[in-house]
Amino acid sequence: MVALAMAVILPIIALQLYKIYVGQISFGVQLGLVVVISVLAGLPVLHLQIIGAQSALTSVFTPRGFRTS
């Protein structure tokens, strides 16, 4: 949940801080930065989702007497 919030909020904060301390940037650069930052911040969300799906599948398809973990 925290990673998802970071993926949404981090690009906005980063762009605002850049505008305050450095100066204005074009809309195209802003859009590109938002996409890149969102993708990078969203990777942990994807990783956690994959781990959760694998865990759910393991518990469903493993017979009760043969659990390995």
Residue 12 pLDDT: 86
More confident position, 16 or 42: 16
Average of per-residue pLDDT across 25-29: 89
What are the structural domain ranges in the chain? 2-58
Q: Where would I find the H helices in 1-69?
A: 2-21, 27-61
Contact in structure between 62 and 24 (CB atoms under 8 Å): no
Average of per-residue pLDDT across 29-47: 84
Predicted model pTM:
0.58
Average of per-residue pLDDT across 9-18: 86
Nearest Cα residue to 46 out of 15, 11, 2, 4: 4
